[in-house]
Amino acid sequence: MKFFGHFKTITKHKLLVMKHCFRIGLYRQGLAHDMSKYHPREFMVGVKYYIGTESPNSEERKATGVSTAWLRHKGRNKHHFEYWIDYSVNPDEGFVGMKMPLKYVAEMFCDRLAASKNYQGAAYTSEHPLTYYLNGRDKIIIHPEVDALLIKLLTMLKDEGEDATFTYLKQLLKEEKKNQKSKKNGSK
């Protein structure tokens, strides 16, 4: 039962993130999203701690004091802000959040939206992803520009809905791609 429940949960989540990524033109990322969750070192831990209403990573952490599945997962998936934590070039600062490429911030937004839908089910509202993020925001290490953009996107989702937010995000990604192409052509 736990095996199939966990498989169903992560697959439903993956397919929803893929759908969202496709809406903003991130086809490769949508297809590859969270593939590491199917690796035995992540999957079997997920099965062991599966309860269906919360991430198995949280349950593993409660039971053992650390989530080995999460440590593996966040180290392989660039859409997690935790992947982008490093020592500052200023030795007095310690660990800081590094600026994430826009395509990974966009995937992170899609991931948070899908996770909220998955875990909230019928109780989901477009306000939930923002509320969830803000409730834990003071405990994380994230680059200020990434934080500001994520809050902007989650607020837009709450206030204007998915269509407007996806349209805005798709436009941002197009502009960035155009700017990168211009820089590349200008340097030749």
CA nearest 61: which of 76, 52, 48? 48
Asked whether residue 50 carries a pLDDT value surpassing 90, the answer given is: yes
Q: What is the per-residue pLDDT for 62?
A: 96
pLDDT higher than threshold 70 for residue 27: yes
What confidence tier does 168 reach under pLDDT thresholds 50, 70, 90?
A: very high
Residue 188: pLDDT band with limits 50, 70, 90: low
Q: Which pLDDT value is given to residue 88?
A: 96
Query: What is residue 97's three-state secondary structure?
Result: strand
Nearest CA-CA partner of 79 in 47, 33, 116: 33
Q: Which two tokens stand for residue 18?
A: 């893929």
28-42, pLDDT tens digit by residue? Answer: 999 999 999 999 999
Residue 132 has what pLDDT?
96
- What is the 3-state composition of the chain as percent helix, strand, coil, each rounded to the nearest 5? 75, 5, 25
With a cut of 80, say whether residue 83 has pLDDT above it: yes
**In 24-143, where does DSSP find H-type helix?**
27-32, 40-48, 56-64, 68-74, 102-120, 128-136
Report pLDDT digits (tens) over 15-26: 999 999 999 999
Do residues 154 and 93 lie in contact, with contact meaning Cβ atoms separated by under 8 Å? no
**Hey, what's the torsion of the CAs at 111, 115, 117, 118, to 10 degrees?**
130
Average per-residue pLDDT for the chain? 95
Which whole number is the average pLDDT over 41-64? 94
